[in-house]
Amino acid sequence: MMLIPFWKDALSPILPKYLMVLQRSIRLLEWLALGLLVYDLGFVHKPWLSTAYAIVAVMLLAWSIYRYRQEKNGRRLKWMPVLMLGLCTLALLAQLIGGKGWPSALESLHQYYAIGIGLYLLYSFSLAVRWLFSKRINPATLFIGSFAVLVVLGTLLLLLPAATPDGIRWVDALFTATSAVCVTGLVVVDTAQDFTFFGRCVILALIQLGGLGILTFTFFFAYFFQGGSSLQETLHLREMVSSEQLSGVFKVVVKIVVFTLTIEATGAVGIWLSTDADLFVSWWERAFFAIFHSVSAFCNAGFSTQSAGLYEEGLRFNYGLQWMIMALIVLGGIGFNILNNLYELLKEWLKRMIARLGGEPLPGIRVHIISLNSRLVIYTTLLLLAAGWIFFLLSEWQTSLSVHTGWWGKATTALFCSVTPRTAGFNTIEVNSLSIPGILFMMMLMWIGASPASTGGGVKTSTFALAILNISAVARGYAYIETGHREVPVGSVQRAFAIITVSVLAISAGVVVLGILEPGQSLITIGFECVSAYSTVGLSLGITSQLGDGGKWVLILLMFTGRVGAINLLTGMLRRMHHVHYRYPQESVIIN
């Protein structure tokens, strides 16, 4: 009995060093597992890969069980990675005992080991994200860094031999990855012809992660795997999802992810039903078309598995498909906060309706559920959609809409032309066929873009609305903006003015530099391309694939800046982590 304390005292100086070495070894093992997974996906399968999978999986399983025993009274380790690796190991032992040889038994469980290792790496990556959240890092820096890392990883994956049939230049891979992560849709290579099925799956994953933000997804899995959170993590997460309240921010993240996957699944079913089976070689190709375009439309990406996009023969006159795409674009571009606000209003309306039908007394004071932000976004969105629809009907009736014989086709195509510049990027007409007024009006719609806290880009509808309201207030001599019996804070007006100014400067700089690098292109095509890139739209007048490497770099920078937000980019680089608590005396400045 006296030996136990003695051995504890003897081993106590050694154990911390041993555990530190073991933990570093496991980190190297995790990097090895990631390398095996990437090699399996991107290169030719080798016989030794199954054996390496099994050895790495057994070692990770042992470490997971040990960590579970150490942390079972603290933060909990979820069961999925351990269960997956454990079941694979038990199945391997059962096949070996049953008489199967080692190579055949490993080969039969190859895919299951890959899934188990993938889940484990997802768990490990989510822990790393939570570790970053626990540090005092500027949220803007963390947000921008996550997109930069995702672009780099996407570029490396697209450079793998399995991603393309004939290889791809690294600049084109970087351009494609940036366009997918920034949900833009500008392409320099043909997505349908120049990428394999694996390459298109990588693009689809980049669109999904870039549309909602990789931090949102990873924190969702981190919370699922581990549970619990610190105050610092909650503050970071509130900044990411644009939540006004600190409590319940995790429920907001869960709602965003579940709502996104539900809408995309519903949209995929609708696209499947609205397409003709004769256009596809197999049901699987039709299903992938539906899934890819549902995700691309909801995330306002504009990528397509067809060479000509929705202008492809057999799709340009499919008005049912176009209405489904438009619905997904609007839902993704209006933002989760607005949709959740509308859901709360509908729920309250149903409660009052049920109470009225049941003869129960109604509350005397009606609660104001719709926020000022929701009113501005909804009214501005409806106004822009209606204005664009009417404008394209009138200006393009005898030009680009002339190929649609019926009034229904013309009305649908005109509405699609009004919806898609709101950072979606799909086209059912040749953009080159638009008249000059149509191109200029489309550039204005692209510049305004979608709504805040959505998957779209642009300066956002609320920014545009505040600019118009500020003009009205200045013209009437008001010192503040008031609308809907509410006063808009000065900080919101200042931020809107800064976003508009920076966007004009960034687009102007892009036009100047691109004009120098591409002297053979006209001003309107260069301007259209720069606005499309900065607003993450993806529409083009056909010069993207003709640009040199310098022009591609200009669009890459514009796409990245427009997606992360120029103000966020400046904030991440310049803002200090403390605030000054003094103000200087005021002095007027002559404006005009």
The type of residue at 551 is G
Whether 246 maps to a domain, the answer reads no
**For residues 459, 174, 301 and 41, what is the CA-based torsion angle, rounded to 10 degrees?**
-150
| SS3 of 181-249 | HCCCCCCCCCCCCCCCHHHHHHHHHHHHHHHHCHHHHHHHHHHHHHCCCCHHHHHHHHHHHCCCCCCCH
In 3D, which of 108, 119, 123 has the Cα closest to residue 54? 108
**Chosen domain end from 109, 136, 163:** 136
Span 99-139, pLDDT tens digits: 566 566 666 666 777 777 777 777 777 777 767 766 666 66
Q: Which helix (H) or strand (E) holds 500?
A: helix 490-517
3-state DSSP assignment of residue 578:
coil
Out of 237-251, 388-402, 524-538, give the one with best mean pLDDT. Answer: 524-538
- Domain membership of residue 41 (yes or no) is yes
Per-residue pLDDT tens digits for 28-60: 877 888 888 888 887 776 777 777 777 777 777
Instruction: Give the end of a domain, one of 113, 136, 159.
Output: 136
Q: Is residue 430 part of a domain?
A: yes
Q: Is 551 inside a domain boundary? A: yes
On the question of pLDDT at 476 being above 50, the answer is yes
In the predicted model, is pLDDT for residue 475 greater than 80?
yes
The more confident residue out of 508 and 355 is: 508
Domain count, the chain: 2
- Helix 436-448 vs helix 372-396: angle between axes, to the nearest 10 degrees? 170
Lowest mean pLDDT among 15-24, 103-112, 462-471, 560-569: 15-24
Residue 447 is predicted with a pLDDT of: 92
Q: Which of 295-299, 475-479, 528-532 has the lowest mean pLDDT?
A: 475-479
Any domain includes 270: no
Identify the domain containing residue 71 by its residue range. 14-136
The pair of three-digit structure tokens given for residue 142, joined into one six-digit string: 């963390």
Average pLDDT on 138-148 reads: 76
Residue 191 counted as domain residue: no
Tell me the pLDDT of the chain averaged across its residues: 79
Asked whether residue 541 is domain-assigned, the answer is: yes
* pLDDT for the residue 553: 94
pLDDT of residue 23: 64
Least confident of 227-241, 427-441, 470-484: 227-241
Is-contact 531 498, C-beta < 8 A? Answer: no
Please give the model's pTM, rounded to 2 decimal places: 0.84
Is residue 295 domain-resident? no
Q: Which of 106, 136, 166 is the last residue of a domain?
A: 136
Phi, psi of 72 (to 5 degrees): -70, -20
